[in-house]
Amino acid sequence: MKRNQRLIVLCFLFVSILSGCQVSKSSDTSTSADNVPEGLQVLGDVENAGDLTLCWDTLTKETVAFDGNDYTAVAADTLIEAFSPLIGVHEIAMIADDGFMVKVPYDTLKDTYIGYQEEKGWCYLSEKHPVNARVKNIREIIVISEDDSAIGKSGLNIVTQESNIHLSLGEILAGSYESIAFLDGKSNLDGLEINVMKRKKCIRLSDVLANTGSACAVSSLLIMDKEGQHDYEQVSDGYFEVENQKINYISMDQHIVIRDVYGAVINPPAVSNRDNFDDSVHYLEKGQKVVTLFLDGFSYTQYEAIKTAHPEWFLSQLASVQMATTVYKPVTNAGFAAIITGEVPAVNGVYDRSYRTVNCETIFDRAESMGLSSALIEGDIKILDIQTKTYLNTDDDGDGYTDDEVFERAKTLLESGGQPDYLLVHFHGIDDAGHDYGRFHEKTLQRIERIDGYVRQLSAMMTPDTKVIITADHGMHDTQDGGDHGDFRYEDLIVPYAID
């Protein structure tokens, strides 16, 4: 063979070898949902988790040649988008049958593919990443988000007095967890009994605290679940299980299982704003009058701030202020219902802003059954359907708040000698200002000072036998453009509670 001919052949072979390692594709839309390969789960921080078969028929398939094999493939970024990833996704983890796992930055997925080939199963096809990223026999793709706005929302939320700890589902599934065999039942045949076990993906509370730098020693937990139940557990540790995109709590002895939890409060306060019901009934039964001053959106963090910065204010001088929990979801309707019923959402039926009907006895109902009078002094709308005399107050002076009108109405009622046996006065302004400006903004603190003055004056006007209870429905956390609430976090869940 001549020299030039040999060079041509060698060049041809070299190009052929290179082309075998490069991604080449052709259009292929013949694959239908009826013959889609199964066994690839997309989990973690997505809205529509599940098997690829859920959306296979909506995806554009291609035939991709890679490493000498033809794959039925889908663009990796398109595949992930089909499962509606949460905002703030920063990487995905791909886990093979044998446990081998790689993490790939989310913003590098473009022009890469998830492909299927009968012998190699689901594979990651990419020339952009190191060779060890080419995972074969993929069983799970975990989408991982590090979005700060998710704190207190999806995933695992743990609240301590020092911090809010948040782990997204993606972080848990793509991180270090224990695979633990739990007793799932017993089977018996002719006297032969065997235990039926089930392996579960779990992380220990103590490990979460240690890994996040928390030095908190656990003595008790308050666990709030999505059924509206609140469970107090005297424990020092426990497991959080990830099951079907939900978080469950399992006690160390496995005797307690709480499913689909929002989160846990470590060493919760002994007091709750729900105590208003029992405390009010207690004093009414003793023949005393009770006035509840309901300071909407007043967080315990704000109380601590004013006590330090303004010790001369009336609220700062109260010796009886205690740290208290509210209910989840920490919004006005749910917190208000908790205050007047003493019950959690699972019992009183008010879970969030969309609920107005209370499904159990209120303090107003109890007062009526005792032959006592009651009244509610409210802002310009009736938030809950409550059976009692209600005074609504519009913003007559146009200052943007109804607090002064609510105060004047309460003042007039007290001065006229018409104080009922039970009275609830609802000030909205702290919450309104907090939303507009943030918890500690000067204008929010001015609103707290104004309401502090109203509380001082009303307290001085009440009959000598009156017990005054001061509390809030929820707290407030800061946002980029003001403040908000409704999340499973310390600032929203912890409020003041005082009896004067």
Q: What is the structure's pLDDT at 73?
A: 93
Q: What is the pLDDT of residue 497?
A: 98
- Give the mean pLDDT of 254-281: 95
311-328 residue pLDDT tens: 999 999 999 999 999 999
Q: What is residue 476's three-state secondary structure?
A: coil
pLDDT at 1 over 60: no
Confidence category of residue 53, pLDDT binned at 50, 70, 90 = confident
Report the range of poorest mean pLDDT among 177-181, 274-278, 403-407, 467-471. 177-181
Average pLDDT over residues 182-201: 84
What is the tens place of the pLDDT at every residue in 124-173? 999 999 999 999 999 999 999 877 666 667 789 999 988 899 999 999 99
- The CATH code that applies to domain 271-499 is 3.40.720.10
Residue among 228, 86, 226, 153 at smallest CA distance from 489: 153
Domain ranges of the chain: 20-146, 149-266, 271-499
Give the residue among 69, 53, 45 at the shortest CA–CA distance from 141: 45
Q: What is the pLDDT of residue 212?
A: 86
Q: How confident is the model at residue 31 (pLDDT cuts 50, 70, 90)?
A: very low
SS3 of residue 424 by DSSP: strand
Instruction: Write b or e for each residue in 80-101: b if 16 or more Cβ atoms lie within 10 A of its Cβ, otherwise e.
Output: bebbebbeebebbbbbbeeeee
Of all residues in the chain, what percent carry a pLDDT higher than 70?
A: 92
Average the pLDDT over 390-394 and give the result: 97
- Among 39, 35, 169, 36, residue whose Cα is nearest residue 96: 39
Cα 280 to Cα 495: distance, rounded to the nearest angstrom: 18
Mean pLDDT of 72-78: 94
Task: Give the Cα separation of 21 and 67 in Å (integer).
Answer: 5
> What is the model's pLDDT at position 189?
86
C-alpha torsion 74→78→79→81, nearest 10: 180
pLDDT at 234 over 90: yes
pLDDT beyond 90 at 14: no
Res 22: pLDDT: 52
Q: Which CATH superfamily is domain 20-146 in?
A: Oxidoreductase, molybdopterin-binding domain (3.90.420.10)
| 149 or 356, which is more confident | 356
Mean pLDDT of 31-51: 78
With cut-offs at 50, 70 and 90, classify the pLDDT of residue 26: low
In this predicted structure, what is the pLDDT of residue 368? 97
Closest CA relative to residue 339, chosen from 285, 275, 284? 275
**pLDDT at 412 exceeding the cut of 50:** yes
How much is the pLDDT for 35? 61
pLDDT band, residue 9 (cuts 50/70/90):
very low
The residue among 262 and 177 whose pLDDT is bigger is 262
Distance, in Å, from the CA atom of 78 to the CA atom of 11, rounded to the nearest integer, reads: 37
Which positions ≥6 away from 266 have C-beta within 8 Å?
Answer: 158, 159, 160, 161, 209, 216, 218, 220, 221
Query: Of the spans 39-53, 152-166, 363-377, which averages the highest pLDDT?
Result: 363-377
Q: What is the mean pLDDT of the chain?
A: 90
Cα separation of the two ends of the chain: 107
pTM of this prediction? Answer: 0.87
* Residue owning tokens 């104080």: 419
Query: For 352-357, what is the mean pLDDT?
Result: 96
Residue 479 near residue 444 (C-beta atoms within 8 A):
no
Check residue 184 and give its pLDDT. Answer: 77
Contact 473, 427 (CB under 8 A): no
- Looking at residue 187, its pLDDT comes to 86
pLDDT at 78 over 90: yes
**Which sign, positive or negative, has the C-alpha torsion 208, 88, 242, 492?**
positive
